[in-house]
Amino acid sequence: MSESAISQNLALIKEKIAEAEKKSGRAAGSVKLCAVSKFHPADSVIEALRAGQFLFGENRVQEACEKFTFIREHSQELKLPQANLHIIGSLQSNKVKKAVEIASCIQSVDRLSLLEEIEKRAAQINKNIEVYFEIHTGEESKSGYADETSFFQSLERVSKKDFPHIVPKGLMTMAPFTQDKSLIHKSFSSLRTLLEKCQKEFPEAGLTELSMGMSGDFEIAIEEGSTLVRVGTAIFGERNYQEKTL
Ligand SMILES: *Cc1c(COP(=O)(O)O)cnc(C)c1O
């Protein structure tokens, strides 16, 4: 994707976000944009940085590590602003150490053992790390907590301040991959309802954010209360799963 295309796409997405905020009676600027750069090269991230986009999402730790280490090592020489990275893909325990080192936030927490591992690794380097709890709301997606009981067990531990290096932010989900808009609305509204329940039953956890909405459905997500949309294809173009990213 050419340089100007990325900055044009970013401008267009921001315009659409602003329109969707207005249409749903939401405050201007209440929805943040996470640019999902997975399978796109460091050059594309650099172009987005130059266009004023500072928050990025990656779903594979190894790829994120290579790309963002490269960018950070060259940021002074290239006069780049700082890139902020969120891990958004399902995370194996043996990747947590790296993930905690390179990211400010892990959006894909889906089990208690992962919280324990994140706390352990964050404590080792004395870093606070933000988390979102990924909730399974759509039929086709396999990731995320599948039942409320296991999620509430995790949240209870968080509320008891068992994880001092973890900063709980909110909930994350992926809507089902479908043309049926009512199913997409249903998936996002169920996440919002769950957040309200968390705020009532676990106020100490301090959850406030809803990470929902991707290229195809972010406007629906904003209508349903999203505070953070994760957009990849509409900014960087189609992903080429064969190409090397560095
Ligand atoms: C890839 C990905 C996105 C972005 O998807 P697009 O359809 O390209 O916008 C968002 N969230 C997660 C968890 C992803 O893995």
Mutate to test the pocket of ligand 1, among 59, 105, 178 (most ligand atoms within 8 A of CB): 59
Helices (H), the chain: 3-23, 42-50, 61-73, 96-102, 112-124, 148-159, 181-201, 218-223, 233-236
Question: Which atom of ligand 1 is the closest one to the Cα of 214?
Answer: 9
Q: Ligand 1: does its nearest atom lie under 6 Å from the Cβ of 229?
A: no
pLDDT of residue 1: 63
For the CA of 239, the closest atom of ligand 1 is 8
Q: DSSP for 44-72?
A: HHHHHHHTT--EEEES-HHHHHHHHHHHH
If one counts every other C-beta atom within 10 angstroms of the C-beta of residue 82, the result is 9
Distance 214 CA to ligand 1 centre (A): 6
- Per-residue confidence (pLDDT) for residue 241, from 0 to 100: 78
**89 within ligand 1 shell (Cβ under 6 A):** yes
> Is the whole-model pTM more than 0.85?
yes
* pLDDT value of residue 240: 81
CA distance 189 to 97: 33
What distance in angstroms lies between residue 123's CA and the mean position of ligand 1's atoms?
A: 29
64 lines ligand 1 (CB under 6 A): no
Q: Locate the ligand 1 atom nearest the alpha carbon of residue 88 and give its number.
A: 13
Atom 4 (ligand 1): residue with closest C-alpha? 232
C-beta of residue 191 within 8 angstroms of C-beta of residue 135: yes
Q: Is the CB of 36 under 6 A from ligand 1?
A: yes
Best of 106, 214, 218 to mutate for ligand 1, by most ligand atoms within 8 A of CB? 214
pLDDT by residue for the chain (246 residues), tens only, comes to 665 899 999 999 999 999 999 999 999 999 999 999 999 999 999 999 999 999 999 999 999 999 999 999 999 999 999 999 999 999 999 999 999 999 999 999 999 999 999 999 999 999 999 999 999 997 666 789 999 999 999 999 999 999 999 999 999 999 999 999 999 999 999 999 999 999 999 999 999 999 999 999 999 999 999 999 999 999 999 988 776 655
Instruction: Locate 191 and state its tokens.
Output: 């996440």
Q: What is the pLDDT of residue 4?
A: 84
